[in-house]
Amino acid sequence: MSLTASIASLLRADHGDPFALLGLHEEAGHLVVRIFQPGARAIVVKEIGGMREWPAERVDDAGFFIAKLNGAKEHIRYALRCTGHDGSNWEIRDPYSFPVMLGELDQHLFTEGQHWELWHRLGAHCEEHDGVAGTVFRVWAPNARRVSVVGDWNGWDGRVHVMRKIFPIGIWEIFLPDVREGAHYKFELLGGDGHLHVKSDPFAFFSQHGTATASLVWKLDKFTWDDAQWMEKRRTTEWHREAVSIYEVHPGSWRRKDGIGLLTWRELADTLLDYVVEMGYTHVELMGVAEYPFDGSWGYQVCGYFAPTSRHGNPDEFRDFVNRAHQRGIGVLLDWVPGHFPKDAHGLARFDGTALFEHADPRQGEHQDWGTLIFNYGRNEVRNFLIANALFWLAEYHVDGLRVDAVASMLYLDYSREHGEWVPNAFGGRENLDALHFLKRCNEVCYERHPGAMTIAEESTAWPGVSRPTFLGGLGFGFKWNMGWMHDTLNYMALDPVYRRYHHGQATFSLVYAFHEHFILVLSHDEVVHGKGSLINKMPGDEWQQFANLRLLYAWMWAHPGKKLLFMGGEIAQRDEWNYDRSIDWHLLEYGYHSGVQRLVRDLNQLYKNEPSLFDMDDTWEGFEWIDLHDADNSVLAFLRRARHGTAIVFVINATPCVRHGYRLGVPGGGLWREVLNTDSETYGGSNIGNFGGGHAEPVPWMNRSHSLTITLPPLGVVAFKQAP
């Protein structure tokens, strides 16, 4: 291409190799510097470390200059002294004077799909090169014809800072001197489809949200962590043998300032963490942390996978939240969404004018239910993007685990599709082999590089071994949500108590498979939206019975094998469905029934954490034993939970409003059995029917036990007894 044609191509913004045109070149036996500066009316090339200067000739009114370096016979270091149309002056280093900076090893690992610290290379990074401070920008767009960085320093003009394409990996790169932290930017791409696309940086560490979607240059090396004690303890913790009680929170609607304004991360650290500690939870799980444009998606349609949402503050303020949580002994889990992404124009969709992150075939690449796109897990670079993202949150933000959203939709090619709407795998089956490979590899790498962290699958099918190690044929997750328990139990609890005797199996069925996986019992946000009603409104009966049933549900949940998760608002028996756009109804705590439920959840957490029998063997039959599961006529269940060292707690559930006096219960030993839980206590809003603190077991064999207690079962209540020393 001739020089004239190259200049014309640059000015049309379709020149794909600007480093071949701009910067220092040899021309007709002379060194020349070619410059494009639309804002300048005059430019002088200045030798760095020398006295020589060369004026540049303006060869095009659009701002193209050429300086002949007369007398210069070697490669020189130079700067540009510019004079603007308004008479202003500035001096810059020429971005087109710097060489390729991405190393060969980085290129190889990325192509291979195993660059586990990819965020250190792609995106925007404040660096110093040749004594000059600036920002290096890199983006993966292999099918783009031209890529530029546009921002508030260059008038968002895509002609000014066109990037260099690194072949064959398709990463574009440029170092821009004097672009500093806080600069707003995007990538402007002339796509493989011939159209112009303006995209946010997929690796941006900080972004705008809503209608303003620019990425921001941000340094990740400024924050000082003070959680070394927590991190060291976490590294050696076996969470399967520990109490895990999770408070699921949507930060934008947990509590609001004056009912309207969102709390910042610092304000949430001051208030939410106090509450989590007071309530006795071990972990907080946050929805909607990664940047997303649409509030109504609750954070499940992510555009900024590496950026904490700016709704609540900057990245270091979110780090401060995690830091302070760890200092108070609280783990932080994030919802992570590798299953799909939205079609927003500034996001990942058709990023370089082609189906880059997604499948091109809509039968593979589109979620019809959600109107979103599916990642192409068969592509090395896409798998690398996602696995690096998981590692990013664990490494840079010290988060303690990732709850992986919508795993079921990733496992099956025919998920929510009719015949003919999906493409079978290479063997003719419905399993998504590429997604399986991705999930297994992701879990392996997360646990290898971050011992003590946890990955949690939201998975609702009967896929075997979700939470088993990959070397045993599993998917490698640490835990799996127990959706079966949730559905069966809520259906059972919604029944009028008079009919529960006919559905006794719904209450006991979960124990058939309770130890097939490492389960977390969940009453999540999904159960209190989209017309499903709040938990309290699912309960039958009058007001007193509704609250008694809810207390029974919570006690059954905390007594049942498996870790625990409760969505915010459930602990205060909120009447309304959850609304992402307003605070939960804290005013309800002025009423006794609601505050009673809150006290019960707090006390259940304390009992749970203080009694190893409730957690240290909850993934094996050795930690659970039925005492009586056959009393369907009375809708009564009795069982015990056992610890490794032998202590046990006996639970009895009465799922009817009938008080049962003189109920004989078999127990595994004599002596005093203290009543350690009674959901009918008046402090919880109950009728205070109980056992006066406990009872003495008699040597009367019952229910295949050597001893038995004669107790009173409160209405719609749960009582628990522990043998005194």
Range of the domain at 62: 3-97
pTM for this model (two decimals): 0.96
Indicate the number of domains in the chain: 3
pLDDT at residue 368 greater than cutoff 90: no
Q: Let me know if residue 623 belongs to a domain.
A: yes
pLDDT at residue 331 greater than cutoff 90: yes
- Would you state the pLDDT for residue 75? 80
pLDDT in tens, 575-606: 999 999 999 999 999 999 999 999 999 999 99
Q: Let me know if residue 315 belongs to a domain.
A: no
Predicted confidence band of residue 441 (pLDDT cuts 50, 70, 90): very high
Predicted confidence band of residue 671 (pLDDT cuts 50, 70, 90): very high
- Would you state the pLDDT for residue 705? 93
Largest distance between two CA atoms of the chain: 110
pLDDT in tens, 453-492: 999 999 999 999 999 999 999 999 999 999 999 999 999 9
> Could you tell me which of 298, 141, 319 has the C-alpha nearest to residue 225?
319
Q: Let me know if residue 581 belongs to a domain.
A: no
Q: Let me know if residue 285 belongs to a domain.
A: no
C-alpha to C-alpha distance for 283 and 280, rounded to whole angstroms: 9
Both 110 and 207 in a single domain?
yes
Average pLDDT, the chain: 96
pLDDT in tens, 40-57: 999 999 999 888 999 999
Catalytic: which of 188, 405, 675, 680? 405
Both 163 and 90 in a single domain?
no
pLDDT at residue 71 greater than cutoff 90: no
- Would you state the pLDDT for residue 595? 98
Q: Where are the alpha helices (DSSP H) in 470-561?
A: 483-494, 504-508, 510-513, 535-538, 543-559
pLDDT at residue 74 greater than cutoff 80: no
> Is 581 annotated as catalytic?
no
Q: Let me know if residue 551 belongs to a domain.
A: yes
With contact defined as beta carbons under 8 Å apart, do 639 and 629 qualify? Answer: yes
Q: Which of 216, 239, 274 is the last residue of a domain?
A: 216
Both 622 and 502 in a single domain?
yes
Q: Let me know if residue 707 belongs to a domain.
A: yes
> Could you tell me which of 449, 347, 444 has the C-alpha nearest to residue 394?
449
Both 560 and 673 in a single domain?
yes
pLDDT at residue 369 greater than cutoff 90: no
- Would you state the pLDDT for residue 198? 98
Predicted confidence band of residue 622 (pLDDT cuts 50, 70, 90): very high
Both 85 and 126 in a single domain?
no
In the 8-state DSSP scheme, what is residue 249?
E
Task: For residues 411-436, give the mean pLDDT.
Answer: 95
Task: For residues 15-31, give the mean pLDDT.
Answer: 91
Q: Which of 73, 97, 121 is the last residue of a domain?
A: 97
Task: For residues 361-381, give the mean pLDDT.
Answer: 93
Both 93 and 128 in a single domain?
no
pLDDT in tens, 197-237: 999 999 999 999 988 999 999 999 999 999 999 999 999 99
Both 54 and 121 in a single domain?
no
Q: Let me know if residue 336 belongs to a domain.
A: no
Both 90 and 125 in a single domain?
no
pLDDT in tens, 91-109: 999 999 999 999 999 999 9
Cis peptide upstream of residue 168 (ω within 30 degrees of 0): yes
Q: Let me know if residue 126 belongs to a domain.
A: yes
Q: Which of 44, 68, 97 is the last residue of a domain?
A: 97
Exposure on the CB side of residue 323, measured as CA atoms within 13 A: 14
- Would you state the pLDDT for residue 685? 97
Paired with 671 in beta bridges are 697
Both 137 and 162 in a single domain?
yes
Catalytic: which of 458, 488, 517, 619? 458
pLDDT in tens, 264-286: 999 999 999 999 999 999 999 99
Both 507 and 628 in a single domain?
yes
- Tokens of residue 512, six digits: 């058939």
CATH number of the structural domain spanning residue 712? 2.60.40.1180
With contact defined as beta carbons under 8 Å apart, do 116 and 388 qualify? Answer: yes
Range 149-154, long-range pairs (CB < 8 A, 24+ positions)? 149/174, 149/176, 149/185, 149/186, 149/187, 149/188, 150/185, 150/186, 150/187, 150/188, 150/198, 151/179, 151/183, 151/184, 151/185, 151/186, 151/214, 152/183, 152/184, 152/185, 153/178, 153/179, 153/183
- Would you state the pLDDT for residue 1? 72
Both 90 and 138 in a single domain?
no
In the 8-state DSSP scheme, what is residue 315?
H
C-alpha triplet 326, 332, 338: angle, nearest 5°: 150
> Is 396 annotated as catalytic?
no
For the chain, the residue count is 725
CATH number of the structural domain spanning residue 143? 2.60.40.10
C-alpha to C-alpha distance for 438 and 702, rounded to whole angstroms: 52
Both 559 and 636 in a single domain?
yes
> Could you tell me which of 158, 48, 46 has the C-alpha nearest to residue 56?
46
